[in-house]
Amino acid sequence: MALDEYRRKRDFTRSPEPKGKDEKARRPAKQPTRFFCVQKHLASHLHYDFRLEHNGVLLSWAVPKGPSLDPKTKRLAMKVEDHPFDYGEFEGVIPEGYGAGIVMLWDRGTWTPEVDDVDAALKKGDLKLTLNGYKLKGSWVLVRTGGRYAGARGGGDRTWLLIKHRDDWAGDVDIAEFAPLSVKTGGDFEDILAEDTPAVWTSHRPAKGGDAGAMLAQIIARAAQLKATRGARTEDTKGTEDTKEKKEKKASTAATRKSAATPRRKTQTSRKPQKKR
Ligand code: MN
């Protein structure tokens, strides 16, 4: 039931996204730690999909600006449909249809509720939680605004804020800017695109008109632009000690201070489907 909306929006003959297992594949609801991830999604607009495992699915919020480590910065988080547990490891290109664009696994780890009853907290619209990811750690809260942004898509009911609590892992570093790459492969959008440029994006472009065609063209252009920007930055720092990767690693470590885990460095990406955890 929980995945009905997820499945209704997608054509799995055309999308590489997982269809997801049914409820019988659920993991125990009362386990002490649960999976969480943040997927950076370059679609019609860049956003960060924040997902928390609960009752065998991934509760999901779309965060347009991404999480902030600064407790003073409240980030708009639009509640979206539950996603299958298997979606948590997904990284790749959605060639067309709903969510068309590029999905990067930006962070992953475990989360622990700071409340006894997650369902009650969700109903109340105030879920306090602890994250233990590579980039995001410590105490956070998701709080429903009660229609403060009623004009937003989906209405006020779906409008939440994602806020960092003040603790050792809070800071004024822009984590999205300083740690922009995939936690899975170390790559950027263009690397993911280069792995899997969908035939439909080239064969139908630029002949394919309309909004979708324009959107796909824009995404490809933006990916190319990202690549060019990165190339330029590499040029700037040539001959100096700090490559962008090193800078990112430093900044990420500084931001999370006690972080012991470091995202894997860039390696050959694997096209193999991820094993179910
Ligand atoms: Mn998304």
Amino acid at 136: L
The average confidence (pLDDT) of the chain is 77
**Could you tell me which residues are beta bridge partners of residue 112?**
130
CA dist., res. 173 & res. 210, Å (int): 39
Distance 146 CA to ligand 1 centre (A): 22
Q: Is the pLDDT of residue 244 over 90?
A: no
Distance 62 CA to ligand 1 centre (A): 6
Work out the pLDDT band at 203, boundaries 50, 70, 90: low
Distance 237 CA to ligand 1 centre (A): 33
Tokens for 55? 């009752």
Interacting residues of 239 by C-beta distance below 8 A, sequence separation 6+: none
pLDDT of residue 117: 95
Q: Is the pLDDT of residue 124 over 90?
A: yes
Distance 39 CA to ligand 1 centre (A): 8
Distance 235 CA to ligand 1 centre (A): 32
pLDDT of residue 7: 92
Work out the pLDDT band at 269, boundaries 50, 70, 90: very low
Question: Taking the domains of the chain in order of start, what are their residue ranges?
Answer: 4-256
pLDDT of residue 190: 76
**Can you tell me which residue has the tokens 């979606």?**
87
pLDDT of residue 235: 52
The model carries a pTM of 0.71
Q: Is the pLDDT of residue 239 over 70?
A: no
Distance 207 CA to ligand 1 centre (A): 26
Each residue's pLDDT tens digit, 109-118: 999 999 999 9
SS3 sequence of the chain: CCCHHHHHCCCCCCCCCCCCCCHHHCCCCCCCCEEEEEEEEECCCEEEEEEEEECCEEEEEEECCCCCCCCCCCEEEEEEEEEEHHHHHCCEEECCCCCCEEEEEEEEEEEEECCCCHHHHHHHCEEEEEEEECCCEEEEEEEECCCCCCCCCCCHHHEEEEEECCCCCCCCCCHHHHCCCCCCCCCCHHHHHHHCCCHHHHHCCCCCCHHHHHHHHHHHHHHHHHHHHHHHHHHHCCCCCCCHHHHHHHHHHHHHCCCCCCCCCCCCCCCCCCCCC
Each residue's pLDDT tens digit, 48-92: 999 999 999 999 999 999 999 999 999 999 999 999 999 999 999
Distance 60 CA to ligand 1 centre (A): 9
Distance 100 CA to ligand 1 centre (A): 9
Distance 58 CA to ligand 1 centre (A): 13
pLDDT of residue 43: 82
pLDDT of residue 274: 46
Each residue's pLDDT tens digit, 13-55: 888 889 887 654 555 555 567 999 999 998 877 899 999 999 9
